[in-house]
């Protein structure tokens, strides 16, 4: 269960940040919080810094972390004004499906992803803000 939650936290951080970046390589501070009904204790919010290469914001599949244990794909991506929505399906060791939405501001965003897995539903909320520039790898 901890591997699922850790993986989903990483997925949420990369997912949310990659979709929102615009312009040249940018440094984003991303905070996320995972909630799962029935968990005896709430997981603390996590904050990390993510460097995004120019162009990654245009392909949401670049946002999905590659893993030998999990193969996730995004579909039905829609952008209307400052709001984006998508569906996702992860196959592999811990299969799951989900729906996500995000609202962009000027150098900021916030959103949530609801995931459905064998062990129950999970909701990840996140917010990010652009804090500078960086040199993305690759």
Q: Kindly list the domain boundaries of the chain, sorted by start residue.
A: 2-133
Q: Which of 131, 125, 92 is nearest to 15 (CA)?
A: 125
Local confidence band at 28 (pLDDT 50, 70, 90 cut-offs): confident
Do residues 39 and 28 touch, judged by C-beta distance below 8 A?
A: no
Q: Is the pLDDT of residue 3 over 80?
A: no
Taking the C-alpha atoms of residue 9 and residue 35, their distance in angstroms, rounded to an integer, is 10
pLDDT recorded at residue 97: 94
Q: Stretch 56-61: mean pLDDT, rounded?
A: 49
42-51, 58-67, 72-81, 129-138: which range is least confident on average?
58-67
Q: Kindly report the backbone phi and psi dihedral angles of residue 54, in degrees, each rounded to the nearest multiple of 5, phi listed first.
A: -55, 135
- Percent of the residues in the chain that have a pLDDT greater than 90, as a whole number: 10
128 vs 1, which has greater pLDDT?
Answer: 128
* Residue 69: both structure tokens together: 């244990």
pLDDT recorded at residue 23: 42
pLDDT recorded at residue 74: 84
Report the sign of the C-alpha dihedral through residues 97, 73, 18, 135, in that order.
Answer: positive
Q: Stretch 120-127: mean pLDDT, rounded?
A: 89
50 vs 60, which has greater pLDDT?
Answer: 50
Helix (H, G, I), strand (E, B) or coil at 130: strand
Q: Is the pLDDT of residue 49 over 50?
A: yes
The per-residue pLDDT for range 91-123, each reduced to its tens digit, is 888 899 999 898 888 888 888 989 999 888 999
Taking the C-alpha atoms of residue 18 and residue 138, their distance in angstroms, rounded to an integer, is 15
């Amino acid at each position: 269960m901890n591997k699922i939650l850790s993986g989903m936290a990483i997925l949420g951080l990369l997912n949310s940040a990659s979709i929102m970046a615009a312009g040249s390589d940018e440094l984003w501070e991303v905070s996320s919080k995972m909630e799962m009904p029935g968990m005896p204790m709430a997981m603390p919010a996590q904050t990390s810094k993510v460097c995004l290469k120019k162009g990654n914001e245009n392909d949401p599949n670049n946002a999905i972390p590659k893993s030998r244990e999990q193969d996730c794909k995004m579909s039905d991506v829609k952008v209307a004004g400052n709001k984006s929505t998508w569906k996702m399906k992860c196959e592999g060791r811990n299969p799951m499906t989900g729906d996500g939405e995000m609202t962009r501001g000027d150098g900021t965003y916030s959103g949530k992803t609801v995931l459905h897995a064998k062990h129950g539903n999970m909701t990840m909320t996140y917010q990010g803000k652009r804090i500078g520039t960086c040199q993305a790898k690759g």
